[in-house]
Amino acid sequence: MRVLYVENSYGEMGGSLVSLLQLSQELVKQNPILPRDKHIEPCFYFLYPNLLIDEFRAIGEVVLERKDYSAYGTPVAVPPALHPLLARIPESARKGLGEILPLALHVAAQIRRMKVDVVHANCRLGSNEYAILGALLARVPVIVHERLLYRVSPLTRPFAAAADLVIAISQAVADNLTSQRVRTRRLEVVHNGINTGELARFRGRARVEGAPLRIGMVGRITRWKGQHVLVDAARRVVEAMPDVEFHLAGDSPPADGAYFESLRESVKDLGLEEKVIFHGNVKEIYDFMAGMDVLAHCSVEPEPLGRVILEAMALGKPTVATRGGAVEEICTDGHDALMVDPGRSDQLSDALLRLAREPRVAERLGAEATRTIETRFSLPVVAARMRGLYDGLRTEQPARRRPVIEAITDFFASSPFSVSRRKGKERARL
């Protein structure tokens, strides 16, 4: 079975990208112990380059649509001379005319060329309309992995209904879709799997005698991830315990460049340049995390899952996590992590100081965290479930695969501008 994974996230590194790599690696790893007809042959369609592209190439063919980020957010089918004119029309129309249809045709061509059986669109519904339409045009089943919490646009809704399966990475993500009445044919919750075998190699790294306490944070530098909360907590922690350092791994997309600069300015104004270190994108992220004594998660908005929390817990690191979204699906306050309220730098600093001053508590939380991950978030189990979903689509869908014309009809029928839909609403009001 050939599975085409479509990944469109901007940035060199991110949780969705790591999750995709580990899932596809595990599926290939399981092939030798299974009958030939159960084997998965992965291939990849990337909209933008990433730090892990060589690792993906080691397990399957990679198609890179754009060679760099210079055209980030620019419609692919519109000549540059028309970009100023295009910028004046509504965003949904701009996206449809300049991105969805051209990219869908590209994807459909790759599906046919590579003889793909199933398309698995990674990241989210709201940026995978082209992958769904491309699969429909090529007449193969399509899965969309929903990894975020957001307001689903009217443009995205008909594509969500056209996908054969939507996989939510947490119950919080699934609830977000159902609360918005997003219509899907089938919705499944599958938590990210964690490669505990790989992470085990990094466990147990002893703290260097006399070295400062190292507190780490991993994630894209964007306001909702809450790096500013950690900087404010750093001020409080350093006042109480000067022998401590804060290390932040991750970079920011262009839209968050101003936020990143404001963080740097805050660090400078607080006189924390030697205490708060920005590392940018870090490829060997587990090595980075293993070098920390404590790991902090500081999101100020509900978290769709929080892969970095799972990884920190799998490493056996004492972790402070912010409540909201799916975080409480992962850990339990006082049992395998400490939890704080979003945006509360005072609570965060208190929790960090407690872990610094009570090493036995930190050690107990780390040990329980590892047990939680190994029991509930095993990568082999998640990969086996995903294989079953692929196999089910391949065997069930051909018999009821809708013609493209029917999919197009459905698109217009579910559009907010549809005449029949408007009349239906008018009748409902009467």
Give the relative orientation of helices 129-138 and 101-114 as an angle to the nearest 10 degrees: 50
Q: 388: how many CB neighbours lie within 10 A of its CB? A: 11
Element (H, E) at 17: helix 15-30
d(CA 363, CA 318): 7
Q: 198-376: what CATH class? A: alpha beta
Q: What is the pTM of this model?
A: 0.80
The pLDDT of residue 99 is: 80
pLDDT in tens, the chain (430 residues): 999 999 987 766 677 888 999 999 999 999 999 999 889 999 999 998 888 999 999 999 999 988 877 666 666 666 677 667 766 766 656 666 668 888 999 999 999 999 999 999 998 898 899 999 999 999 999 999 999 999 998 889 999 999 999 999 999 999 999 999 999 999 999 999 998 888 999 998 877 778 899 999 999 899 999 999 999 999 999 999 999 999 999 988 787 889 999 999 999 999 999 999 999 999 899 999 999 999 999 999 999 998 899 999 999 999 999 999 999 999 999 999 999 999 999 999 999 999 999 999 999 999 999 999 998 998 998 999 999 999 998 877 544 455 544 555 444 444 444 434 444 444 444 4
Two tokens at 216?
Answer: 């780490």
Which CATH number fits the domain 2-193+379-428, given the four candidates 3.40.470.10, 3.40.50.2000, 2.40.128.50, 2.60.40.10?
3.40.50.2000
Domain extent listing, the chain: 2-193+379-428, 198-376
If DSSP states are collapsed to H, E and C, what string results for 55-84? HHHCCCCEEECCCCCCCCCCCCCCCHHHHH
Closest CA to 386 of 50, 124, 28: 28
Which residues, in sequence order, are CB contacts of 394 under 8 Å at separation 6+? 1, 117, 118, 141
Q: Do domains 2-193+379-428 and 198-376 have the same CATH topology?
A: yes
- Give yes or no for a contact between 172 and 351, defined as CB atoms under 8 angstroms apart: no
Query: pLDDT at position 79, please?
Result: 66
Helix 404-413 with 129-138: angle, nearest 10 deg? 140
Q: Report pLDDT for 424.
A: 46
Query: Would you state the pLDDT for residue 14?
Result: 75
